[in-house]
Structure 1
């Protein structure tokens, strides 16, 4: 058995996908960007149940409502991770169980892009689930342990987003709210709005591109929606 080395030609012929996060303040028009995508080859994951702005978009939609359901959808979309044990989430066993529930994954071949709106809401679903897990309670007293809950939350979120990042051949767009705050020196700072700090800090390392949708003045002083990459 020879070492499975890919040549430059083989690598260039592989179907590639871009992984990006689209940031913007509430009302900036992030969800509306879905209308710029081909409805025949885009799957919209509506976590916010706030699709009023894109009601006339004619593509397919899925709406996970719990963290457990989202993890099932994530392994179905991203495929199994062969490095994991059968008792772990995103493993081959998890994938096969989900395929038995959802059907033949070849149905996903028609999609080139997954548009996930939003990971801000996803973070809340995850944290709600984490607060009910054993790690969120003190072993000594049995009382809620906030640090344990946040630690588990960071692990779960990064594992889920990284798994979708490995959806080979698919474009994945994560949408998130951009939060503005003022620091101790009265300077404006912008950060991803999500529970905990781990996900926000590591998100730029997960995706290929961080895109901010913001209104900036043109030469005449009129505000224009602009992509800052």
Structure 2
């Protein structure tokens, strides 16, 4: 058996999906982004039962109501992880049991994008499940152990997100609520609304794209919605662009955003900069409060 090296040509020819999350305040229009996607190729994982915003959208959906169902759908979509033992979620045994229940996973081949609304609700379902597990009960006192529940919650959420992230041939987008808070020095900070701290801290390292859907306002102009895509931005929004193809601000159209990410890009040595901008850089629009 030869060393299983994947050549550059093989790697570049592989189908690669985009994995990303989009955060924004309630009512900014995150669910409505489904209207910018091809309904025939998109599967909507509706966790919030908040589909009034897309009434009339002709795409398919699934509606998990428990954390167990969330895990089942994840292994059905992403396939089995051969590194796991049979008793673990996302293992070959788990995948086989789910296929026996749902049928052949080839039924999902017609979808190239999974839209998960929302990671905020997924976190709540996960935490509710975690509170009922043995790890959430103190062995000494027999009383609920909140630290144990949060520890299990963090591991469960990261495992779920990582499994979906490894679904190479599909795009997977998670949307969630963005909270605005103030620290002890009265500085404004933005944090994803997810139970526990572990998921919010590790999520940017799991996905390719972190986008904030925000309401901006140019000086003297009307407010408008936009995607903020760069880690270094004027407003402190959580953002990240692994592709290197997006501007700091993009139009709030998820379909065209993915087209831009897939477009041929400038080679990394030419697009990366290592010097600070010249004095007098142009001012940026500010967020609308």
Output the TM-score relative to the length of structure 2.
0.78
The aligned counterpart of 1:3 is 3
Per the alignment, residue 118 of structure 1 pairs with: 118
Unaligned runs of 5+ in 1: none
Give the secondary-structure state (helix, strand or coil) at the position aligned to 2:153.
Answer: helix
Q: Which blocks of at least 5 consecutive residues in structure 2 are unaligned?
A: 230-289
In the other structure, the counterpart of 1:192 is 192
Residue in structure 1 matched with residue 79 of structure 2 by the alignment: 79
**Which range moves more in the overlay, 213-222 or 93-102?**
213-222
Paired residue secondary structure (1:28)? coil
Query: Residue 127 of structure 1 aligns with which residue?
Result: 127
**1:35-184 paired onto structure 2 within 5 Å:** 35-184=35-184
CA displacement at 1:218 relative to structure 2: 2.7
RMSD across aligned positions (CA): 0.7
Corresponding residue for residue 202 of structure 1: 202
> Could you tell me how far 1:219 is from its partner in structure 2?
4.7
Q: Which residue of 2 aligns with 1:27?
A: 27
Runs of 4+ that moved beyond 6 A = none
Quote how far apart the aligned CAs of 1:190 are: 0.1
CA deviation map 1:126-175 (0-9, x unaligned) = 00000000000000110000000000000000000000000111000010
Q: Secondary structure at the match of 2:40?
A: coil
Larger radius of gyration: 2
Taking the aligned partners of 1:189 and 1:31, their CA distance within structure 2 comes to 24
| SS at 1:150 equivalent | helix
CA shift for structure 1 position 2? 0.7
